[in-house]
Amino acid sequence: MNRIGKIKKTLAAGQKAKGCWLFTGSADLAEIIGGAGFDAIMIDHEHGSGNLPQAIDQHRAIRCAGDTSVLMRIPSNDPVAVKRALDAGMEGIMFPAVNTAEQARAAVAACRYPPNGTRGVGLGAARAAAYGRDKERYLEEFEDKLLIICQIESKEAVGNIEEIAAVDGVDMLFIGPYDLSGSIGKPGWFDDPQVIAQFEDARDRIKASGKWLGCISSGAERTNEMFAEGFDFLLCAAETTLVSTGAQELLDQLKS
């Protein structure tokens, strides 16, 4: 518990936070990435191949390797998935495709125990509360330390940014550029003027809302540019791409 909330402290201090995806269920890769010095690691269960037991092993490996916050993107806005991820010890949840304030309120409620929410209480089974041994402190601290991220991934969501951001408990709005561009029928067309305009509109409205602004980025140059544009948290790498690009670069250099 003493390390939970590090990512929120970093952001609250006005510092930029760098993150990395984990798309596989490999604890070995999690340990390698965990020792690299990222501010946070996002275990992905929307598109990634891992399951919850693997995520717990990854969580252990990351914590053994360094002082990095461990977050999870759940498969869908399912309160059962939220409960299991939080009980496992994740210190932040990313909710995909949050389109309305009502969906944002449901996301926050799934993270909080009654009377502030609807999360089921099973402290004796929860790693996050040391299987009941640390339940008093967990109950006292977890709500303030938990990072709740809502993804903005559609034209509808962009139109509702102000209402979503106003929901108590939502800490960050995170632009999903691929699904956002897909919502107007142009998936991945990032040079298209309409796609650019929609992205910039979402970015500017989130910044104006006062909530932390997150997104994905690619490469050091673009990541630094996006931080300069006002982004607070960027998932700027993934273990899959780090391995594949590193291997390809080596082979390309050997061929030359």
Which positions are annotated as active-site residues?
A: 47
Of 70, 69, 97, 112, which Cα lies nearest the Cα of 173?
97
Torsion of CA 172, 173, 174, 178, to 10 degrees: 170
> Could you tell me which residues are beta bridge partners of residue 147?
92
Helices and strands, counts by H and E, the chain: 12, 8
**How many residues belong to the chain?**
256
Separation CA 28–CA 36 (nearest Å): 13
State the DSSP H helix or E strand holding residue 148, giving kind and residue range, or none if neither. Answer: strand 147-152
Burial of 187 (0-12, 13-18, 19+ CB in 10 A): middle
Query: Closest Cα partner for 3 from 142, 122, 171?
Result: 142
Tokens for 33? Answer: 């990435």
Cα(72)–Cα(76) distance, rounded to whole angstroms? Answer: 11
Distance of alpha carbon 244 from its chain centroid, rounded?
Answer: 22
